[in-house]
Amino acid sequence: MAYDEDLAQRVRLLLKRRKGFSERKMFGGICFMLHGNMCCGVIRERLMLRLGEKNARKALEEPDTHEMDFTGKPLKSMIYVEQAGYESAEDLKYWIHQAVKFAQSLPAKD
């Protein structure tokens, strides 16, 4: 599985100056970490977000989102956003901000 490098670069530019930022290949794509906690990622052309169970449920009410079901079983704390949902710079910033807020609420692992 590969990932959309253009989308990954857009996400990277939004996150790379944050303290504790790192990258890791995961789920057949690339994940962006903050202080050792998964924040978001890119799998193929999908934006993957870790939002926590409550925030993920709420986010699924938004257009162009769906459950992350990478293994065939939905991951309740994570969602996918399809291209139409992150195409604009404003939309991408919104989604990344949501994932950053959740990642920052977790204890650092690094």
- Any domain includes 109: no
**What does the pLDDT average to over 91-104?**
98
Identity at 78, one-letter amino acid code: M
Identity at 81, one-letter amino acid code: V
List, for residues 35-68, the tens digit of each pLDDT value: 999 999 999 999 999 999 999 999 999 999 999 9
- Any domain includes 71: yes
- Any domain includes 22: yes
Q: What is the pLDDT of residue 1?
A: 58
- Whole-structure pTM value: 0.94
| Distances in whole angstroms, Cα of residue 62 to Cα of each of 22, 51, 57, 78, 84 | 28, 14, 10, 14, 11
List the domain range (segments joined by +) for residue 32: 5-104
- Any domain includes 110: no
> Using N-to-C axis directions, what is the helix angle for 89-104 and 5-15, rounded to 10°?
60
List, for residues 5-41, the tens digit of each pLDDT value: 999 999 999 999 999 999 999 878 999 999 999 999 9
- Any domain includes 69: yes
Residue 74 sits at φ, ψ, to 5 deg, of -60, 140
Total domains in the fold of the chain: 1
The CA angle 4-95-68, to the nearest 5 degrees, is 65
How far is the C-alpha of 37 from the C-alpha of 84, rounded, in Å? 27
Domain of 72, CATH number, reads: 3.90.1150.30
How far is the C-alpha of 97 from the C-alpha of 5, rounded, in Å? 20
- Any domain includes 61: yes
